[in-house]
Structure 1
Amino acid sequence: MLSEINSLKGKYAQSTQYRRLIWEDIVWPLILELNRSYFSLEEYQNKRKDYSHNHDISLSKLSGGLISLVLKGILKKEKELYSLHYRLIPYMRKKTNLTYGQVLREICSK
């Protein structure tokens, strides 16, 4: 699946696709499972490892996704914890399925 995406898209589109994958399949489900707006690096790594094993994707393909979400402003790193952007917390409380596109629109809107 990812190899097909990579062959059809350019460098920046691939980065977006990996961020989308990390958000929709690892980070957001982790936040909903924990039922809190933050998680530790260890919790993330365990979730990422499980996802990698279940979907036959190498960990190296998923390695930069978390930092990329921090750089985009979706997550904030504070010491050993990663916390959710404050505008996304109401979605967490409602247990809403939140896509990467919806996240970008929400945090970038005024």
Structure 2
Amino acid sequence: MFAVNNIIIAFFGVGLACIILITYIMSRQHNKVNGIMKQNKNVAPLLLQKSTQHKFNTIRSKMPHSSHPEHEHIKTKLDDLVCQFKNEDICIKKYNHGLDQLMKQLNTEKK
């Protein structure tokens, strides 16, 4: 009887130690994940950055070098949009949306 009680107590102690170890490891992992999430909170997604860069390059390459009033208007809007984004007045999502609008204007003008 005494040996069975010691075995039960040993299993209980080992189980309790395992639970404490698992809880400690999980809390450390949780803290690491929270730290990474805080660091990446204001970082724009890479795909969105690539998309906006591609749209910007496409608009610049489609812009003719003539001084047509519509082209000047689009060029002015593009320069204003880029300036606002560089000064962090607008976020990358609004910048991307603005580039979408300029591409639509440029594409409808070409047709």
* TMscore range, shorter length: under 0.3
Structure label with greater radius of gyration: 2
Larger helix percent: 2
Going by fraction, where is strand more abundant, 1 or 2?
A: 1
TM-score by length of 2: 0.24
